[in-house]
A = this chain, B = another copy of it.
Amino acid sequence: MVNKFFDLLICRPLANEQSSSEKYNVPFGLAVMASDAISSVAYASQEILLVLVPIIGAASYAWLGKASLMIIGLLLILTVSYVQIIKAYPQGGGAYIVAKENLGVKPGLVAGASLLLDYILTVAVSASSGVAAITSAFPSLVPHSVLLAVVLIIILTILNLRGVSESAKMFSIPTYLFIFSMIFMIIFGIAKYIIYGAPSMHMIHQTLKPMGDVSIFLILKAFSSGCSALTGLEAVSNSVPNFKEPGQKNATIVMVLLTLCIFVIFGGSSLLARFYGAIPNDNVTVLAQIAYGVFSGKTFMFYVVQFTTAIILIMACNTSFTGFPMLMSVIARDGYAPRSFATRGKRLSFSNGIVFLSIIAGILVIIFKADTHLLIPLYSVGVFLSFTLAQTGMVIHWNKTNEKGKNTRKLINGFGAAITLLTTGVIVYEKFLSGAWVIIILVPIIVLGFLHIKKHYNYVARGLRADEEYVKNCGIGQTYNHLIIVPIASLNKATLGALKYARSLTSDVIALNVSPNKEYMDKLKHKWEELNTDILLVSKYSPYRAIVTPLIEYIGVISKAAVPDEKITVVLPQFITRDKSGQILHNHTSFLLREALLRYDNIVVSTYPFHLSPKDDNEE
């Protein structure tokens, strides 16, 4: 029943061979990768103005242009760098792989952990802010915010479990709607500005009184706030193997298109903010003010821009649903995370990673009650940390290769590394007390966890490895001396079955009875005689009423006395009832014995099942 329901939700399984049909082509790839990156563009100009306007007033608009140009410069550097990464590392993994290969395992894991944290935060924040957008339209839903956010995450989880191109198709429509409505607004707005000229800036000069001077620090702060426009940029390089062949070429095209989108939308909206004199305030977003100015009031196009913006904020989650499982699978394949993250589910998506992401994000949403206020400061530290590590890694990469133009490229990446390091520093400094410290603590903890898992897997692999020589000399076909011990409390159908089974495997069988009741012991001995068997009955009286401990002690003594070519098998009779609920009433002894006996390396523990016939259940 439950299985069928899940099958219905997630569709029929896909075979390994169907793999390529589930991969992204360019338009769908752009739709999936773009949502996170361009949704952050939607509020980047506003973030810059929020820093500048209270200090330098109307002069902000000039500096908005300069800061935007700086960010666009950084965008270009990052794009060039990521295109190089896609080319150099076709297996995906982005910052993690680049840092690992060039800087070493630990920097790689730091980059990986930072990105993973950021993906989780993106889901929690986007789901919460998407719900906030819905509830500001329908205030009666406010008490159900947490529920709505969790439902949203569950819907995204199901869509993503259905497989990669399914979810790409789902999300391409609103993403393109947003992209095209933004481009239309920018072209229309610029054309309108050129034809009709600027609206009066008089009011703005009156409203915005400068309170201080332009300082390097202020510009840096504005710059770092605007850098949120660049989060989500790394998604493409992580997901190269998700693209249709030729994967690297398609990924590169998507990367360039994405940069173009960011460039046009971010640059354009910064320009329009200046042209139409948008002033950031608590109630109306800068984007809404621009749309209001460009489309002359609350017209149809104004609502289109508002609506698609709300949807793209929710969609931003989805980039994480692609990026997180992919990165996790790369880390798991390297042995730093549990292996199960590296196996593809029924529909070829990394289902364990998807489910894990949605559970953690869901918990965050519930703990923070779908309020993004406390989560946002934790955000984007991780992205810029991983940018820095990837850029630094690429510098080392160029040192190792002999490609032509490597010095120019090294320079670009070196510059990028310096800028992103600076940005990371500014972000950490600005947001340390309001939450970035959590990331600073969590990243090393996660990295230590990764290393611990790797160490454990190595230990297991080393311990299990059987080389050619070992295989040849393992002595398969040689016989052991078998001794079988059957612990019994009484002679019933289950224990008789187990004894019969044991006796037919070997002639050395011991029936072991430990009892705190001498009367029962005598009864058993009496009944045993009727059995007429050569199985040895060993009865031990337990004055302190314990059963499990004396059994284990006795079997332990036999185990220690065994010679090397002797194997002891303990057959535990277990009766199986039809209803699972009945199981809690018995078979505790079996469970405890099994766990304890597996500690001896020459004891094999068998469970002999005896099935009670179900029809007896209805008799009184």
Residues of A at the B interface (CB closer than 8 Å) are: 13-17, 338-340, 343-346, 453, 455-460, 462-466, 468, 470-472, 474-480, 482, 491-494, 496-497, 499-501, 503-506, 516, 527, 530-535, 543-546, 567, 569, 571, 574-577, 579, 582, 585-586, 588, 594, 598-601, 603-613, 616-617, 619-620
| Smallest Cβ-Cβ distance to A600: which chain B residue | B609
Residues of B within 8 A of A472 (CB): 530-532
| Smallest Cβ-Cβ distance to A463: which chain B residue | B612
Instruction: Check B464 against A533 for contact (C-beta < 8 Å).
Output: no
Instruction: Check A543 against B15 for contact (C-beta < 8 Å).
Output: yes
Instruction: Check A504 against B478 for contact (C-beta < 8 Å).
Output: yes
Interface SS of chain A: helix, strand, loop or mixed?
A: mixed
Instruction: Check A598 against B609 for contact (C-beta < 8 Å).
Output: yes
Q: What is the bound-complex CA distance between A617 and B455, given in angstroms?
A: 8
With A339-B585, A470-B493, A474-B500 as contacts: A16 and B453 at CB distance below 8 Å: no
Residues of B within 8 A of A458 (CB): 620
Instruction: Check B601 against A609 for contact (C-beta < 8 Å).
Output: yes
User: What are 9 A-B contacts defined by CB distance under 8 Å?
Assistant: A346-B545, A456-B585, A462-B616, A476-B535, A477-B534, A504-B567, A576-B599, A598-B607, A598-B609
Instruction: Check A501 against B604 for contact (C-beta < 8 Å).
Output: yes
Instruction: Check B482 against A466 for contact (C-beta < 8 Å).
Output: no
A503 contact from B476, B532, B604, B607, Cβ within 8 A: B476
Q: What is the bound-complex CA distance between A472 and B585, given in angstroms?
A: 30
Residues of B within 8 A of A598 (CB): 574, 576, 607, 609
Q: What is the bound-complex CA distance between A471 and B47, given in angstroms?
A: 85
Closest-CB distance, A348 to chain B (whole angstroms): 8
Instruction: Check B482 against A464 for contact (C-beta < 8 Å).
Output: no
Closest-CB distance, A356 to chain B (whole angstroms): 14
Instruction: Check A501 against B480 for contact (C-beta < 8 Å).
Output: yes
Q: What is the bound-complex CA distance between A480 and B459, given in angstroms?
A: 40
Instruction: Check B531 against A504 for contact (C-beta < 8 Å).
Output: no
| Smallest Cβ-Cβ distance to A472: which chain B residue | B530
With A499-B476, A544-B14 as contacts: A504 and B482 at CB distance below 8 Å: yes
Q: 9 more A-B contacts (CB under 8 A) besides A463-B616, A501-B604, A594-B607?
A: A346-B546, A459-B577, A460-B582, A463-B613, A470-B493, A470-B496, A480-B501, A604-B608, A606-B607
| Smallest Cβ-Cβ distance to A586: which chain B residue | B460
Closest-CB distance, A544 to chain B (whole angstroms): 4
Instruction: Work out how many copies of this chain go into the complex.
Output: 2
Instruction: Check A530 against B567 for contact (C-beta < 8 Å).
Output: no
Q: What is the bound-complex CA distance between A127 and B533, given in angstroms?
A: 58
| Smallest Cβ-Cβ distance to A518: which chain B residue | B16
With A16-B545, A594-B607, A606-B605 as contacts: A582 and B456 at CB distance below 8 Å: yes
Q: What is the bound-complex CA distance between A546 and B471, given in angstroms?
A: 28
Instruction: Check A491 against B466 for contact (C-beta < 8 Å).
Output: yes
Instruction: Check A569 against B606 for contact (C-beta < 8 Å).
Output: yes
Residues of B within 8 A of A480 (CB): 500-501, 504
Q: What is the bound-complex CA distance between A620 and B600, given in angstroms?
A: 26
Task: Give the 6 A-B CB pairs with smallest separation, nearest first.
Answer: A463-B612, A15-B543, A464-B492, A606-B606, A601-B611, A13-B544
Q: What is the bound-complex CA distance between A603 and B574, given in angstroms?
A: 12
Residues of B within 8 A of A464 (CB): 492-494, 575, 610, 612
| Smallest Cβ-Cβ distance to A481: which chain B residue | B504
| Smallest Cβ-Cβ distance to A542: which chain B residue | B16
Closest-CB distance, A143 to chain B (whole angstroms): 25
With A585-B453, A604-B608 as contacts: A493 and B478 at CB distance below 8 Å: no
Instruction: Check B576 against A459 for contact (C-beta < 8 Å).
Output: no
Instruction: Check A500 against B471 for contact (C-beta < 8 Å).
Output: no
| Smallest Cβ-Cβ distance to A618: which chain B residue | B459
Instruction: Check A530 against B471 for contact (C-beta < 8 Å).
Output: yes
| Smallest Cβ-Cβ distance to A576: which chain B residue | B598
A456 contact from B477, B497, B577, Cβ within 8 A: B577
Q: What is the bound-complex CA distance between A516 and B453, given in angstroms?
A: 24
Closest-CB distance, A15 to chain B (whole angstroms): 4
Instruction: Check A612 against B460 for contact (C-beta < 8 Å).
Output: yes
Closest-CB distance, A329 to chain B (whole angstroms): 13
Instruction: Check A476 against B576 for contact (C-beta < 8 Å).
Output: no
Q: What is the bound-complex CA distance between A209 and B599, given in angstroms?
A: 80
A479 contact from B499, B504, B534, B613, Cβ within 8 A: B504
Q: What is the bound-complex CA distance between A605 and B570, given in angstroms?
A: 11
Instruction: Check B609 against A571 for contact (C-beta < 8 Å).
Output: no
A601 contact from B13, B607, B610, Cβ within 8 A: B610
| Smallest Cβ-Cβ distance to A605: which chain B residue | B607
Q: What is the bound-complex CA distance between A609 and B16, given in angstroms?
A: 33
Residues of B within 8 A of A465 (CB): 492-493
Instruction: Check A457 against B567 for contact (C-beta < 8 Å).
Output: no
Q: What is the bound-complex CA distance between A345 and B478, given in angstroms?
A: 46
Closest-CB distance, A519 to chain B (whole angstroms): 11
| Smallest Cβ-Cβ distance to A453: which chain B residue | B585
Closest-CB distance, A547 to chain B (whole angstroms): 9
Residues of B within 8 A of A496 (CB): 466, 470-471, 474, 476
Q: What is the bound-complex CA distance between A543 and B491, given in angstroms?
A: 47
Indicate the member of A463, A579, A600 with the most B CB atoms within 10 Å: A463
